[in-house]
Structure 1
Amino acid sequence: MMPLGLMGEGEVAEIVSVQCAAGGTAAARVEDMGLRPGKRVRMLSNGAGPVLVKVDESRLAIDRGVAMRIAVRTA
């Protein structure tokens, strides 16, 4: 397992857990975007600033700090 923020471009992984503060707005926002355990994500861009991922048919820009709190398992 590793943080979503450390994935390389083009890599595909499955979300294992989201470690945002319980009950916090970040946790709710991440879930509202569709980033939940069991979902598969593809890293589109991982340069400076936010990371860009594809989940289902959506492209999402995620703050790097939040991305580092999402644990993934590479496929």
Structure 2
Amino acid sequence: MMPLELLTPGERGEITEIHHCGGCGGGCHSHGHHKHEGHGHQHHKKATATRAEEMGLRVGKQVEVLNNEGSLLLLLVDESRIAIDRRMARSIKVKGINA
């Protein structure tokens, strides 16, 4: 398994794990800090997985990297193109798929 961010354009992988990216306080995925909800890791892990799921990124899904330059990765997931930041890509583990 490797972080999604390490795949190069044209490579495909199957998502095996989605983790909280760490260091962001959950803000990189929820677009804001929820200080009133506490700071437990359980809350942030669930929030991260929920945001990834909303974008169509789930364990077992196959993704193809279309572009991996700069601060964003462009992915193809189920005929949809989505862009994710490098921090989120680092938190998603994939296993390579032979084309």
TM-score scaled by length of structure 2: 0.71
Look up the equivalent residue of 1:59 and give its one-letter code.
R
5+ residue gaps, structure 1: none
Give the residue type in structure 2 aligned to 1:3: P
Q: Report what 1:34 is aligned to.
A: 56
Q: Which amino acid aligns with 1:58?
A: S
Cα deviation digits, residues 28-74 of structure 1 (max 9, x gap): 11111110010000000000111000000100000110000000000
What TM-score do you get using the length of structure 1 for normalisation? 0.93
Cα distance in 1 for residues equivalent to 2:15 and 2:49:
14
Q: 2:45 — aligned with what? A: 22
Aligned-pair distance for 1:27?
2.1
Q: Percent identity?
A: 46
**Structure 2 gap segments, 5+ residues each:** 21-43
- Structure number having the greater helix percentage: 2
Matched residue of 1:28: which SS? helix
- Opposite residue 66 of structure 2, the aligned amino acid is L
Give the aligned partner of residue 2 of structure 2: 2
Displacement over 2 Å in runs of 4+: none
Give 2:96's aligned residue. 74
The RMSD of aligned alpha carbons is 0.9
Shift of 1:23: 2.1
